[in-house]
Amino acid sequence: MAKPFQLPPSLSELRNYVDGEFVSTGRCFPDISPLHGGLLAQVHEADAALVDRAVLAARRALDGPWGRAGVDERARWLHRVADVIERCFDEFVAAEVADTGRPLAQARTLDVYRGVANLRTFADLGKVAHGDCYETRLASGQELMNYTVRKPLGVVASICPWNLPLLSMTWKAGPALICGNTMVVKPSEETPASATLLAAAFHEAGVPPGVFNLVHGFGPGSAGEAMTRHPGVDAVTFTGESRTGAAIMKAVADGVKEISFELGGKNAAVVFADADFDAAVEGVVRSSFSNSGQVCLCSERVYVERPIFDRFVAALKARTEALKIGWPDDEGVFMGSLISHEHRDKVLSYYALAVQEGATVVSGGGVPTFGDERDAGAFVQPTIWTGLADDARCIREEVFGPVCHIAPFDTEDEVIRRVNDSAYGLAGCVWTSNLSRAHRVSRRFQVGIVWVNTWFSRDLRTPFGGSKLSGIGREGGRYSLDFYSETTNICLAL
């Protein structure tokens, strides 16, 4: 039976939200279902003139009730937005699922859950943000009091990816807004639905016009580029591909705008022979195949200590082949579709390239067949490779699909060298029962986050970000509050 996962009629046209009003532009692009290839909605693309209106509205809002509000009042507004999301929880879940093809359970327990948690966490953290104070005595005997005050940066442009749409938008909006900034937000062209619902939630919560503006569109020559080039934008927070980050960096250079970049990854998981074997197999299944491998933190490179290598590969293959792929609401489904048919072409091109580069395909490597409407969806099989050289493109480039390569290693020094031999530096996993080794190895990874005997466990107060091609800066907890604030030092002669 067909399970179309359509958007409701109220979302058949997705509009921009500028200065407190939903705005049509008449120039539309289609929002296509990755599950069945059908039309979900028409999306009204913002041009440079509408982006300009949004930025001007955001600037005006800095001087309005929002700009004059204290942190308690801003926190109340953010909590009210979170209340609306909670009340419309199922609508948000349905929008995320329709746009992304992911399992319903994931949209509930990760995407929409975190959407609420991001807003509430930063609303509360903002209230306890504080400055520094130093008492100074100069050689002359003059006494000084130095203290800092935090001020908003101004208008923040937030450009978001498609892989975790609501999570990414709220991860930026929570801290940016609690710090008193106003925003122009662009979701990915692939995932406009939950973004439109989020704008409606801001509207319903009574957040003053111009504080949260939403523009739909693409990157180059469209809304994304217009945002980064706009002189009225004070800071750009971007999550997406590393090469897009490089293009944005060039675009903001003339305006010397503040930037925070969360970019791509080619993350490694290292499994030592002393690890809890079953937990490590389960952990690697999750870290390689969750969200169909479309999480920047996924492990596409897995290094396993030689004594357990063959057993580990066999266990991972068995566990992977038992994973259920299918409709988002199928009982026990683990993987839905990829984000789009275009992205599937990219992932499949890596499946072919791996074979050309000499990989042994241990599992998957193609497209599943269902014999029903799902055959029109952007599904791929979770895939395990062995046998690639360390300099193979499939080892060096981010695939962003459900794939991992497993290689044996013999010593700690060797595996650390191979882990760090990457242009990226986002995240890593270590599986071991040796406490000293866990500390020793983790601190030598050239990445922003290391998980030991777990993966993707997050406390929103901790720093998040990457090194090398994986990003610039850290967000999370006080790191976000620091990025979204301008600090002024005031020095008083006593």
Residues that bind ligand NAD (CB under 6 A): 159-163, 186, 188-189, 218-220, 224-225, 228, 239-241, 244, 247-248, 262-265, 296, 398, 400, 426, 466, 470-471
Least distance CB 487 / ligand NAD (angstroms): 24
**Do 432 and 272 meet the contact criterion of CB atoms below 8 Å apart?**
yes
What does the CA dihedral 404, 409, 414, 415 come to, rounded to 10 degrees? 30
Nearest C-alpha neighbor of 325 from the set 6, 35, 2: 35
Least distance CB 130 / ligand NAD (angstroms): 27
For strands 258-262 and 471-472, give the pairing. Answer: antiparallel
**Do 366 and 380 meet the contact criterion of CB atoms below 8 Å apart?**
yes
Secondary structure of residue 308 in the 3-state scheme? helix
Cβ count within 10 A of residue 493: 9
Half-sphere exposure of residue 139, counting CA atoms within 13 Å on the CB side? Answer: 0
Nearer to ligand NAD, 209 or 471 (CB): 471
Nearer to ligand NAD, 244 or 432 (CB): 244
**Do 329 and 104 meet the contact criterion of CB atoms below 8 Å apart?**
yes
Nearer to ligand NAD, 370 or 456 (CB): 456
Nearer to ligand NAD, 219 or 364 (CB): 219
Least distance CB 423 / ligand NAD (angstroms): 12
Least distance CB 76 / ligand NAD (angstroms): 29
Secondary structure of residue 415 in the 3-state scheme? helix
Least distance CB 71 / ligand NAD (angstroms): 26
Nearer to ligand NAD, 177 or 338 (CB): 338
Least distance CB 339 / ligand NAD (angstroms): 8
Helix-, strand-, coil-residue percentages of the chain, each rounded to 5: 40, 25, 35
Q: Which residue is nearest to ligand NAD (CB)?
A: 219
What is the total residue count of the chain? Answer: 494
Nearer to ligand NAD, 34 or 161 (CB): 161
Give catalytic status of residue 179 as yes or no.
no
Q: What are the Cα distances from residue 369, in Å, to 77, 142, 289, 349, 380?
A: 48, 79, 18, 18, 9
Exactly one of 225, 258, 262, 305 is catalytic; name it: 262
Secondary structure of residue 395 in the 3-state scheme? helix
Q: Would you give the DSSP letter of residue 335? A: B
CA angle 236, 200, 53 (to 5 degrees): 50
CA pair distance 405, 385, nearest whole angstrom = 5
Token pair recorded at residue 103: 């399992």
Give catalytic status of residue 296 as yes or no.
yes
Least distance CB 139 / ligand NAD (angstroms): 47
CA pair distance 278, 320, nearest whole angstrom = 13
Nearer to ligand NAD, 46 or 281 (CB): 46
For strands 467-468 and 424-425, give the pairing. Answer: antiparallel
Q: Which helix (H) or strand (E) holds 493?
A: strand 485-493
The string over 289-322, giving b where at least 16 C-beta atoms fall within 10 Å of a residue's C-beta and e elsewhere, is bbbbbbbbbbbbbbbbbeebbeebbebbeebbee
Nearer to ligand NAD, 252 or 275 (CB): 252
Nearest C-alpha neighbor of 203 from the set 26, 27, 71, 23: 23
Exactly one of 160, 179, 189, 296 is catalytic; name it: 296
Least distance CB 104 / ligand NAD (angstroms): 21
Which amino acid, 356? Answer: Q
Least distance CB 470 / ligand NAD (angstroms): 6
What's the gap between Cα 124 and its chain centre?
A: 22
Catalytically annotated residues: 262, 296
